[in-house]
Chains A and B, each alone.
Chain A
Amino acid sequence: MGRYILKRLLVAIPMVLGMTLLTFILMQITPGNFLDTIRMDPQVSEETIGHYQKMYQLDKPMFQQYIHWVYNLFHLEFGYSFYFNIPVAKVIAGRLFNTFVLSLASFLFTWMIAIPLGIWAALHRNRWIDRCIQFFSFICLSLPSFLLALVFLFLASQTNFLPLGGMHGPDFENMNFFVRSMDFLKHLIIPTLALSIGSIAALQKIMRGNMLDVLSQQYILAARAKGLPEDRVIYWHALRNAINPLVTLLGYEFSGLLSGAALIEIICSWPGLGSLMLTAVRSKDIYLVMANMLMGGVLFIIGNLLADVLLAKLDPRIRYDKKH
């Protein structure tokens, strides 16, 4: 197993570099650059734009810029953000936690609701409760999350029950730890709900499908036939097999933990990475985009690897080391 992991990690290095190179080329060959907004200002001369170009090293050949970036990367420097005028690492660090908290909250919320809901629906297949769940799932799946967020915010503004966006209340600094945490949780509710509802609907459907699949298998019949208690049949034999495919999904979810949700973040004024990256891409803040791609790529690879390893632990049919 150790060899397998090492191999996967070694393969990942050229993969990540290739991905950053593609990103870099895409950012460079699409028309325009960071200085376009400054260019449209009637009071700025061309010499000044030239000076800015020099300061950001945009006047050098494209591949020289990339190699320079990779060189710095091995010294753990991720470049300078044009937009914020400070190192990229500092820009991202300021937002990392916010995005992580929101993603984690919605991840936990989604899985903790969706899995039991899917199982329950499968066990009550085609009864009215199952039909209700499936009906509402379809509605939730077809509602875009940003619309949900706006509706929630509107309701909040009508009832004054929850705060309207942001991460903290205005008097944040003057609160003690307990009040501060409560305030933070209150702010977390709307974006978490908006992010989770669609995923709950989707995940619930997958779980239900898997469960139904497994319940119709011969070995379940065999287990019942030999007189095992129904609880043990379902929660020991059926569930273990039904949840297997979801482990792969878990790996993907892991990579999404830090990528942020731009639309929800914008609407809920949540200072996360998603909205930051949207601004970065649109204003062509190359190195900020590159650093984010790098982070996303690394997480994706780790997430996939974790899923594969977990799968091997859970499913005796899967073995990575050839031992005959």
Chain B
Amino acid sequence: MNPKRIPNQPLLKILQIPNSFWGSLFCKNIIGFFILFLSWAAFLPLSTAENTHPFRYGGKLVLTTTSDPKSFNEIIAKEVSTSEITAYLFEGLTRVNAVDLKVEPHLARSWKISPDGLTWIFHLRRDVKWFDGFQFNADDVVFTFNELIYNLNIPTSSRDIFTINGQTPKVEKIDDFTVKFTLQSKFAPFLWVMSQPILPKHKLEKTVTERKFNFTWGIDTDPREIIGTGPYKLAKYVPGQQIILERNPLYWRKSVDGDQLPYINKIIYLIVQSADVELLKFLEGSIDYYVLRGMDFSLLKPLEKNDDFTIYDMGPSSSSNFITFNLNPGINPKTNKPFVDPIKLSWFSKLEFRQAVAHVIDKQKIIEIVKNKLGYPQSSAMTEGAGFFNNTNVVQYDYDLTKAKELLQKAGFIDRNQDGILEDSQGHDIEFNLYTNADNTERVDIAAIIRHDLEKLGMKINFQPLEFNILVSKLNSTFEWEAIVLGLTGGVEPHFGRNVWASTGQLHLWYPKQTTPATSWEKRLDEIFDLGVQELDENKRKVFYDEFQAIVAEKLPLIYTVLSAKLSAVRNKFENLNPTNFGGVFHNLEEIYIKKEYR
């Protein structure tokens, strides 16, 4: 699929005609030619004259996604297939720089914070326009917060992010381009959460008063009705087939040397449900980007040169896989039976038991077998990808069966009747159920390896992969499980994991929604998360979260295994790529342009 060189003709240079054009000219009819010509003319950038690099403009980026977006309403729908698209359309006052993970100005050009850390004043950019030409101003910001996020008739997890100790920041307009946020208590990740996308008041106000907002901007909306400020606007959505985004000619951002951004004309998402077909499409050359699974690497690496693409390794991903034991001493109110058999609960509650388990997790073997040698061992609750807040200096548990046996012996788990299965001091066989979600094949493989090693220690494991829904209802409502291999997606900002780590959280998997902390270390975790969020000095904050990671590694409520490697294959048609662990390959999409010969 390598493009052949076009003979150097001046006309070609000016019009930037793609190579495929000539092919189509010769083999298709005149009408086809005419339509192609017209459509090409429509794609010419509007304002080439003032740009220093007029020849960087044009071309398209073809990507794939596995499922349809659920909505284009950024406030209501938050899952990945939706936010992948809405991220192009809407922007926040701040954004996170994907290279150094620092918060930088975006729709706000600057901000000031009062000495007590409670009042934030944001000065907005004056050159931002909505897709329909309306001026972006303070009213939009106030509207997004007061009428949408804080509106109790609208279900949105954005409200949870802005709820600090049960209260939401007060948002006021000072003048057309100044907004004041008043907090009730200090909130360290405030600038981070201000990346919350702002939506247009002039477009949505009516839907809120008519109580139709929850069903506004659904996937059946005319794309032209969806108005944002982002670098791309929605041009077309064909359910189950493709999503087309078009360059926003009014976009406010300019490159360092004054080019109107973005450079690329069109982004096309093909909806491809099967990863195998996605791979075939990448090899065929019809898509520009492919996220590698562990097993693809050995296939793709040798083809890199010939097939004109590059594989980028962006380090460990942030999706963890861990094993956890149910430590919930509660009683099921319906059946009057304990959630966990008290005998088993007493084993799981012993730290030596969990330490022994940590020592039999063979991370190297998991990486070799499950991840095709492309993975990273995980020992801290904050992954390496979290950068600044990652604490590498925590207790490590090497794969060591003798040590595990010693620990179990010390805790009274000994094979007393010589039948190959350990017993506790009362003579009960150590036997428990291990669940995981069946739809995640890698996780099932990891669980199988862990099970194999636990059986070497003399435990009897009943391993059962379950449907995801069943697993979640066990974790959230029936609480009837013993051990689970599961994963959660981590992030860069530690406070966002509060629901997992604070003893009151509903995702505090091993014993959720505690009224008072069950153990002293869980009490300390609660304190750390309360103090950490109030501390505005980053270095002092890090001390808190380092301690939290040390506690988790020591007490092992979650026993971590391995992280996948983030690997992507990208066709060699782009300039200005700067892949990072946090942002991936296309985080700086506005600045990326397509090499001339590929356009």
Contacts and interface: CB of A to CB of B under 8 A. Distances in A.
A31 B469 contact: yes
B597 to A, nearest CB: 19
A173 B498 CA distance: 48
B395 interface: no
Contact of B488 (A40, A51, A157, A168): A40
Q: Which of A85, A164, A170, A282 has the most CB of B within 10 A?
A: A85
Given A36-B473, A269-B270, A85 B215 contact: yes
A10 to B, nearest CB: 36
Interface residues of B, number: 69
B32 A32 contact: no
A170 B31 contact: no
Interface in A85-111: 85-86, 90-91, 94-95, 98
A183 B270 CA distance: 16
Contacts of A36: 468-469, 472-473, 476
B280 interface: yes
B469 A44 contact: no
B101 interface: no
A248 B286 CA distance: 44
A268 B280 CA distance: 11
Contacts of B473: 31-32, 36
B186 to A, nearest CB: 20
A276 B239 CA distance: 10
B476 A269 contact: no
Nearest to A278: B273
A94 B286 contact: no
Interface stretch (B158-166, B171-179, B355-363): B158-166
B284 interface: yes
Interface stretch (B69-77, B108-116, B222-230, B531-539): B69-77
Nearest to A36: B472
B155 interface: yes
Contacts of B468: 32, 36-37
A276 B240 contact: yes
Q: Which of B32, B242, B274 has the most CB of A within 10 A?
A: B274
B157 A39 contact: no
Given A85-B219, A164-B286, A175-B32, A271 B70 contact: no
A90 B237 CA distance: 14
A48 B500 contact: no
A104 to B, nearest CB: 18
Size category of the A interface is 35 or more
Contacts of A98: 240
B271 interface: yes
A150 B159 contact: no
Interface string B469-506: 11011111010000000001000000011111000011
A157 B283 contact: yes
A284 B469 contact: yes
Contacts of A179: 28, 32
Contacts of A83: 70
B77 A85 contact: yes
Contact of A42 (B35, B67, B284, B488): B488
Given A85-B70, A86-B219, A271 B240 contact: yes
Interface in B56-81: 62, 67-68, 70-71, 73, 76-79
Contacts of B241: 166-168, 269, 271
A32 B472 contact: yes
Given A43-B499, A153-B280, A166-B241, A271 B271 contact: yes
Contact of B157 (A31, A43, A90, A91): A43
Nearest to A279: B67
A174 interface: yes
A199 to B, nearest CB: 22
Interface string A21-60: 0000000001111001111111111111001101100000
A157 B160 contact: no
Interface string A123-162: 0000000000000000000000000001001100100100
B274 A42 contact: no
Contacts of A52: 155
Given A55-B155, A153-B277, A279-B67, A86 B215 contact: yes
A86 B472 contact: no
Nearest to B217: A85
Contact of B160 (A31, A32, A39, A43): A43
B146 interface: no
B556 interface: no
Contacts of B218: 84-86
Nearest to B498: A42
Q: Which of A40, A55, A157, A170 has the most CB of B within 10 A?
A: A40
A176 B488 CA distance: 49
A284 B238 CA distance: 23
Contacts of B67: 279
Given A153-B280, A267-B277, A85 B160 contact: no
Contacts of B281: 157, 164-165
A10 B197 CA distance: 54
B351 interface: no
Contacts of B469: 30-33, 36, 282, 284
A266 interface: yes
Contact of B68 (A84, A166, A268): A84
Contacts of A175: 32, 35
Q: Which of B68, B76, B469 has the most CB of A within 10 A?
A: B469
A160 B156 contact: no
A167 B241 CA distance: 7
9 contacts: A32-B467, A41-B78, A48-B156, A86-B220, A164-B277, A164-B281, A170-B270, A179-B32, A282-B469
Interface of A: 30-33, 36-48, 51-52, 54-55, 83-86, 90-91, 94-95, 98, 150, 153-154, 157, 160, 164-168, 170, 173-176, 179, 266-272, 275-276, 279, 282, 284
